[in-house]
Amino acid sequence: MHENAEHCVRAVQSKDARFDGWFFTAVLTTKIYCRPSCPVVPPKPRNMVFYPSAAAAQQAGFRACKRCRPDATPGSPEWNVRASLAARAMRLIKDGVVDREGVPGLAARLGYSTRQVERQLQAEVGAGPAALARAQRAQAARLLIETSTLPMAEVAFASGFASIRTFNDTVQSVFGMTPSELRRRGRPSATAGAVALRLPFRSPLCPDSLFGHLAVTGVPGVEEWRAGAYRRTLRLPHGHGIAELRPTGAPYIQCTLHLSDLRDLTIAINRCRRLLDLDADPVAYGEALHDDDVLAPLVRKSPGRRIPQTVDGAEFAIRAMLGQQVSTAAARTHAARLVRAHGDPVVDATGGLTHLFPSPAALSALDPAVLALPRTRRDAVLAMVGALASGRLDLGAGSDWQEARARLGALPGVGPWTVETIALRALGDPDAFPATDLGVKLAAAALGLPGTPAALLRRARLWQPWRGYAVQYLWATGDHPVNEMPARDITSPPPSALRARNA
């Protein structure tokens, strides 16, 4: 969109928040860049230039506006709905791959040369992978400066900078202020190891089924709903963490992160955003689904339904296998047994979380006898674990969606429902459509839609490329606890009760 100057100027002059993150406006006279909805008086059109990303604006020598904070706006949803090389690269950069493995590591994960990745990102985003990672580090530094009381040296290294000098120079150039000046403007209140922040999103957002789904299907010990917040443990590159996510009624989610290593801050934030689908564009898919006479009343009733996703694709795939052909309660029970036996223990000082979900490597030596499942399903679970542990199946942020579908479909015991459910919630494909899902079939029957999966798939072509969001509206027609915000806590019993029950 940034290439259409006329459309961009109109969006800026109308302060249209729908375009925040789609492009950034840089002002030649002030050398400042803003989001389209910035509350200041719009500059003259001849003084505006437009960039596709905050990193591109920073690379061109512009610094972030202090009023609208464009560096903190939700990113372009384009990178979350596309399966192209640039989109896969953007998702991996957000997940911290460049900071951990460098640009060569990013290229290796994508299966392209470093030069090809650089060229593609320059063409699509206006900045290379190093500049994009630098912009992400700058935003992480700002969060730590303004929300924590950590010494600046610790902030520098926690946000991914290699030296304090680079940290100081980057903060000064990106925000037009020194780190000390930024801290004076903020109100730091978090202690070391805990960071409280806001996760902005594009309005509207319907939190009921989003948080209801995560809470009701949560694995005991790994997830819980406590005091109006969804809480879960996180397995991170440098350690572990606990995320507490609370809907507020405002255009942001209140997030509190307890991290064993603050270098994981940016990764934890992006995984929480992905979990709640906060970078989605509800206006785009809402308008598309509203054109369908069957879905229009559902969209009007609760606009902004999101896809409850995951913080770990491998974890969700294993849980999906355990949940085949059983109730929600039974799936939780099977997963909880694996967690207690193979999950890494954690200490949760403010709640009842006890473990990280076990990694595929930890489950690769799993004794089949401990799985209380029929033999064929037990073998299918072990085949999935083996594919994930060996690397033959990649469900990470930068995975190729079609290749992952093909590899999933080749595994024993993995049918269309499992493939599309994993594509929807683990890969984040907004067009995934589990036509054989029981909830989808019941909703289709109630709404007068075709009853067979093949016929329903033909009918669902009208909803492309947003069939995954259509699924959320279909699910919401059912009378199931996942469709409502929990009215009471959903927590794990204490370990002593678990031991007594299993005795």
Among 34, 38, 65, 206, the one annotated catalytic: 34
Could you give the angle at the alpha carbon of 383 between the alpha carbons of 382 and 389, nearest 5°? 85
Query: In 3-state terms, what secondary structure has residue 231?
Result: strand
| Helical packing angle, 114-125 and 85-94, nearest 10° | 90
* 3-class DSSP state of 206: strand
| Alpha helices for 412-487 (secondary structure H) | 416-422, 438-447, 453-459, 467-475
Instruction: Give the closest residue to 318 by CA, choosing from 342, 344, 296, 300.
Output: 342
Q: Scanning the structure block, which residue is given the tokens 């290796």?
A: 108
The answer to whether 240 and 344 are in contact (CB under 8 A) is yes
Task: Output the six-digit token pair for 349.
Answer: 């000082």
34 is catalytic: yes
**218 near 315, Cβ under 8 Å?**
no
The separation between the first and the last C-alpha atoms of the chain, rounded to the nearest angstrom, is: 62
DSSP calls for 74-130:
PPPTHHHH--SHHHHHHHHHHTTHHHHHHHHHHHHHHTS-HHHHHHHHHHHHSS-HH
The C-alpha atoms of residue 358 and residue 381 are separated, in whole angstroms, by 14
Q: Is 137 within 8 Å of 126 (Cβ atoms)? A: no
Closest-CA residue to 219 (of 362, 318, 364, 361): 318
71 as an active site residue: the answer is: no
Considering the candidates 95, 277, 394, 437, report the single residue annotated as catalytic: 437
| Chain CA centroid to CA 476, Å | 21
Residue 415 CA to residue 428 CA, distance in Å, equals: 18
Cβ-count burial 455-476 (b if 16+ within 10 Å, e if not)? ebeeebeebeebbbbbbbbbbb
Max CA pair span of the chain: 76
Q: Are 71 and 32 in contact (CB under 8 A)?
A: no
Question: Exposed, middle or buried, 105 (CB in 10 Å: 0-12/13-18/19+)?
Answer: middle
Residue 416's Cβ-count burial label (10 Å; 0-12, 13-18, 19+) is middle
Question: Which two structure tokens, joined as six digits, stand for 362?
Answer: 């930890």
Active site residues: 34, 437
